[in-house]
Chain A
Amino acid sequence: MDSIVILFISGLLGLFVGMRRQPLSALVISSLGLTGAALAAYFRGQYTSPLAAYTAYIPTQSAVVILLCIVTLLAIWGGYQRYRQENEHTGDYLSLVLFSLCGAIMMAQPNDLMLFFIGLEILSIPIYVLVGIEKGSALSAEAAVKYFFTGSFASAILLFGIALLYGATGSFQLVEIQSNLAIGIWQSPMAMIGSLFLLAGFAFKIGAVPFHFWGPDVYQGASNAVLMYMSTVVKITGIYAIVNVFGQIFRDSYFYWIDLISLLIVLSMFYGYITAWKQTSFKRLIAYSSIANAGLMLFALADIHNSNIFLFVAAYAFATIPLVTINEFADQNSDDLSNWEGIAWKNPLVGAALVLALFSLAGIPPLAGFFGKFSLLWSAVPHIPYTAVLALIASVIGAFVYLRLLMLALKKPEVQVKKALSAEQTIVLLLTTISSITALYLI
């Protein structure tokens, strides 16, 4: 709760500073707000307000809040360069990110479906705006409209699912829904359709097949800064929410859903990686890669008593953010992959960060991505072994995709042109690279 309050206040302050066209101070305020929120989650994570019985209780674990805050911090720093130059919307951008993060914290680990839905809307609505924040670009406007329509449609389906579940069980509280479902109601058509709609809404949020169609277009239309936020924070929140909701509600009947979820996993991974293979646009490539990664994340549902997804989502975020930052470094206004040719030679830090991020995404030890994948598979293999086999085959295709990008970036250019990173980009790349490597200490 403290974190949300701090984020909200710093978001408001950021708006006022943004009005005065002071991008740097807006950045400082938002960074302070995010740091404060992370610290609050760390120190007051166990704190329950004496008014908890009367107010909304947000049970999100402090580790998740801290992860979300850090990822957002990296995302706004990585994308800051553009807003320093065109300072018309810096304040709006930063505040919208912070407001949306409030929603993310609310919905990440809900215990009440109503509160969860409110969090979801608080998360989504600023993002609709953020996608369209490039007012001059037709692509951006198209993306915003697309995202808004499909997004509200998905929200409606999700809400309908919640309503049906409420009709079947008579409660919004996850604990009560679970105990009611456990006595046999889960077999009733109403509860089943409700849960199916719930699953569809979730799958839309994390962009898993077959609810992925918005992904590539929206990602392509969004600016790098927004893309960084969208492809990491929204996904992390979505997967935490789905694990939490499904883990609680269907604790006794998850065997019933596991086949459907296996299908989603396999489809997402194969579709995502195979389609990413021939992309010529970096943002679309990231979009398809994130569809495949959403499939991988769904492995957390295989063993809902013991799901350990933290490492995977953290590794995913710490690998995606440097890549998008490097795309910003390559060329701010275009996302064509030809900009990436020989980019590793322009700056040594870019080269190192790029190699490590791509290998981490491909899941090569000893980088963080491997440990994430390992901990997911570790709990999933006994439950859905065949899905795991298929997923591993798909990850070979994925390695193809990442290696292709890597080879493009490492190609030695005829003439070497050096290019300097801006200070905040340097910090982002350093931090993400170091955190990818330090996963080695987990052994």
Chain B
Amino acid sequence: MMLLTNAVFFLVFLSNFKRELVHDIRFTALALLMQFGLLGIFTTNTILGFYLFWELTLLPIFLILYWFGNFEKPRAILQFFLYTLLGSLAMLLAVIGLMHATNQQTYEGLLSADLNALGNTSTLLMGGFLLAFAVKIPLFPFHTWQAETYTKAPVAGTMLLSAIMLKMALFGLLKWVLPIFNGIATDFWRWPVIVLGLIGIIYGAIIAIRQNNLKTLFAYASLSHLGLIAAALMLQNGETNQIAVVQIVNHSIVSIGLFLAAGIIEHRIGTAELTGLGGIAKVAPRFAFWFGVLTFVSLSVPFTAGFIGEFFLIKDLFAAHNLTGILASATLILGAVYMLKAYQAPMFGPTKVTSFEDLHWSEITVFAILSIAAIYLGLSPQCLTDFVAHSLSQPTL
């Protein structure tokens, strides 16, 4: 069921990208190949298949970044690729080790295998998986590829990366690793991951406040938001997981919207530096409106999906430990600071931009779909939680 949700969402998003962007056959082909890989990840029921599709998505994203990004030097893109590859190879070892240790390779088989009997080995194996996920999510010390890649990548590439590729790590964590390694291994890794997530929340937010480039700012904001989700997932609480799914979907919505907005600004004005922007709202009221709506969603204003997600995740982190809760709530305050800054500086302030072509109808459609989805989820999150509750509680895919 969860897979279906994911698939439908991704199809919608992908169709949006194509309308917006480069009329280039290569881009379309690569995006479709990537979609194939992602659908594979969400539907496969063998651990090896999971690994295969996981790696398969690397190829199209690499080519998209290389062909359509404006990297002056290939260093950043290589850095991204190698981080991911290192993580993936650790996961490959863990997959091989897991298959050897349990003689199982299907999802059900692995769930029924008793990994606690392996003791420390299972901790090590889970470490391999976590390394791969930590690079993708990204968690705090593994995030250095993120900012530069997001900034230099084409907008569509950034959207694909932040809205979908990062989610496959969270999906892997939620659906595969945590249920399978339930026991010694998760107990061992729980607090390290939560602590890294918290560091990511605060560190990402503080850096985001200081950023001058809109895309870099959103990249660090993304680091901050995902830290929260990853930390909450490690609590392994059924209800938390449902809310985490809401927040995952919400983050996809928000990041697509924000990066699209940043892309529009960059495309029309030629820069995404905050110091060079100002007063867009006067010349482009429609753009200002929709960007504003998404900013509020990102700020977790009540009645948006962001509120449901963040509020309950922080509540659950409080339940785990007071300190984690307090630190996690920093995301709300700091988030308000950087998001308002990101909205205010280009939209209002001294007029520096005098001509700005307002939104095209297709862009409005995308913004409208995203905003309506976010608000609908905010008003009735049950529609999503009920939808995924079944597949989260059932041990089958």
Chain A, residue nearest B67 (CB): A410
Interface pair A392/B92, CB less than 8 Å apart: yes
Please report the C-alpha to C-alpha distance between residue A443 and residue B49 in the assembled complex, in whole angstroms. 8
Q: A385-B97, A403-B62 provided; 11 other pairs, C-beta below 8 A?
A: A359-B59, A365-B55, A366-B56, A370-B55, A374-B92, A377-B96, A382-B100, A400-B82, A404-B74, A410-B63, A443-B48
Given contacts A366-B52, A392-B90, A410-B67, is CB(A381)–CB(B81) below 8 Å?
Answer: no
Chain A residue numbers with a CB within 8 Å of B85 are 396, 399
Chain B, residue nearest A397 (CB): B82
Interface pair A407/B74, CB less than 8 Å apart: yes
Given contacts A382-B100, A400-B82, is CB(A364)–CB(B58) below 8 Å?
Answer: yes
Chain A residue numbers with a CB within 8 Å of B97 are 381, 385
Residues of A at under 8 Å CB distance from B? 355, 359, 364-366, 370, 374, 377-378, 381-382, 385, 388-389, 392-393, 395-396, 399-400, 403-404, 407, 410, 412, 443
Q: A141: shortest Cβ distance to chain B, in Å?
A: 38
Residues of B at under 8 Å CB distance from A? 48-49, 51-52, 55-56, 58-59, 62-63, 66-67, 74, 77-78, 81-82, 85-86, 89-90, 92-93, 96-97, 100
Interface pair B96/A378, CB less than 8 Å apart: yes
Please report the C-alpha to C-alpha distance between residue A399 and residue B79 in the assembled complex, in whole angstroms. 11
Q: A14: shortest Cβ distance to chain B, in Å?
A: 41
Chain B residue numbers with a CB within 8 Å of A374 are 92, 96
Q: B107: shortest Cβ distance to chain A, in Å?
A: 16
Of the residues A381, A388, A392, A400, contact of B78 by C-beta under 8 Å: A400
Please report the C-alpha to C-alpha distance between residue A370 and residue B96 in the assembled complex, in whole angstroms. 13
Please report the C-alpha to C-alpha distance between residue A389 and residue B89 in the assembled complex, in whole angstroms. 9
Interface pair B86/A396, CB less than 8 Å apart: yes
Interface pair A410/B90, CB less than 8 Å apart: no
Interface pair B82/A364, CB less than 8 Å apart: no
Chain B residue numbers with a CB within 8 Å of A364 are 55-56, 58-59
Given contacts A377-B92, A381-B96, A389-B93, is CB(A399)–CB(B82) below 8 Å?
Answer: yes
Chain A residue numbers with a CB within 8 Å of B82 are 396, 399-400
Chain A residue numbers with a CB within 8 Å of B93 are 377, 381, 388-389, 392
Chain B residue numbers with a CB within 8 Å of A370 are 52, 55
Chain B residue numbers with a CB within 8 Å of A355 are 63
Chain B residue numbers with a CB within 8 Å of A388 are 93
Interface pair A365/B96, CB less than 8 Å apart: no
Chain A residue numbers with a CB within 8 Å of B56 are 364-366
Chain B residue numbers with a CB within 8 Å of A393 are 86, 89
Interface pair A365/B66, CB less than 8 Å apart: no
Chain A residue numbers with a CB within 8 Å of B92 are 374, 377, 392
Please report the C-alpha to C-alpha distance between residue A443 and residue B90 in the assembled complex, in whole angstroms. 21
List 30 A-B residue pairs with CB atoms under 8 Å apart, sorted by A's residue number. A355-B63, A364-B55, A364-B59, A365-B55, A366-B52, A370-B52, A370-B55, A374-B96, A377-B96, A378-B96, A381-B93, A381-B96, A381-B97, A381-B100, A382-B100, A389-B93, A392-B89, A393-B86, A393-B89, A395-B89, A396-B82, A399-B82, A403-B62, A403-B81, A404-B74, A407-B66, A407-B77, A410-B63, A412-B67, A443-B48
Please report the C-alpha to C-alpha distance between residue A366 and residue B54 in the assembled complex, in whole angstroms. 10
Interface pair B90/A399, CB less than 8 Å apart: no
Please report the C-alpha to C-alpha distance between residue A85 and residue B85 in the assembled complex, in whole angstroms. 43
Chain B residue numbers with a CB within 8 Å of A395 are 89
Chain B, residue nearest A362 (CB): B85
Q: Which of A359, A365, A385, A412 has the most CB of B within 10 A?
A: A365
Chain A, residue nearest B86 (CB): A396
Q: Which of B48, B59, B67 has the most CB of A within 10 A?
A: B59
Q: A376: shortest Cβ distance to chain B, in Å?
A: 11
Please report the C-alpha to C-alpha distance between residue A382 and residue B56 in the assembled complex, in whole angstroms. 26
Chain A residue numbers with a CB within 8 Å of B67 are 410, 412
Interface pair B49/A403, CB less than 8 Å apart: no
Chain A residue numbers with a CB within 8 Å of B89 are 392-393, 395-396
Please report the C-alpha to C-alpha distance between residue A392 and residue B87 in the assembled complex, in whole angstroms. 10
Q: A306: shortest Cβ distance to chain B, in Å?
A: 12
Of the residues B48, B51, B66, contact of A410 by C-beta under 8 Å: B66
Chain A, residue nearest B97 (CB): A381
Please report the C-alpha to C-alpha distance between residue A374 and residue B63 in the assembled complex, in whole angstroms. 24
Chain B residue numbers with a CB within 8 Å of A392 are 89-90, 92-93
Chain A residue numbers with a CB within 8 Å of B59 are 359, 364
Please report the C-alpha to C-alpha distance between residue A385 and residue B93 in the assembled complex, in whole angstroms. 9
Given contacts A365-B52, A365-B55, A366-B52, is CB(A399)–CB(B96) below 8 Å?
Answer: no
Please report the C-alpha to C-alpha distance between residue A410 and residue B62 in the assembled complex, in whole angstroms. 12
Given contacts A381-B100, A396-B85, A410-B67, is CB(A443)–CB(B52) below 8 Å?
Answer: yes
Please report the C-alpha to C-alpha distance between residue A393 and residue B87 in the assembled complex, in whole angstroms. 10
Chain A, residue nearest B74 (CB): A407
Please report the C-alpha to C-alpha distance between residue A385 and residue B100 in the assembled complex, in whole angstroms. 12
Please report the C-alpha to C-alpha distance between residue A377 and residue B78 in the assembled complex, in whole angstroms. 25
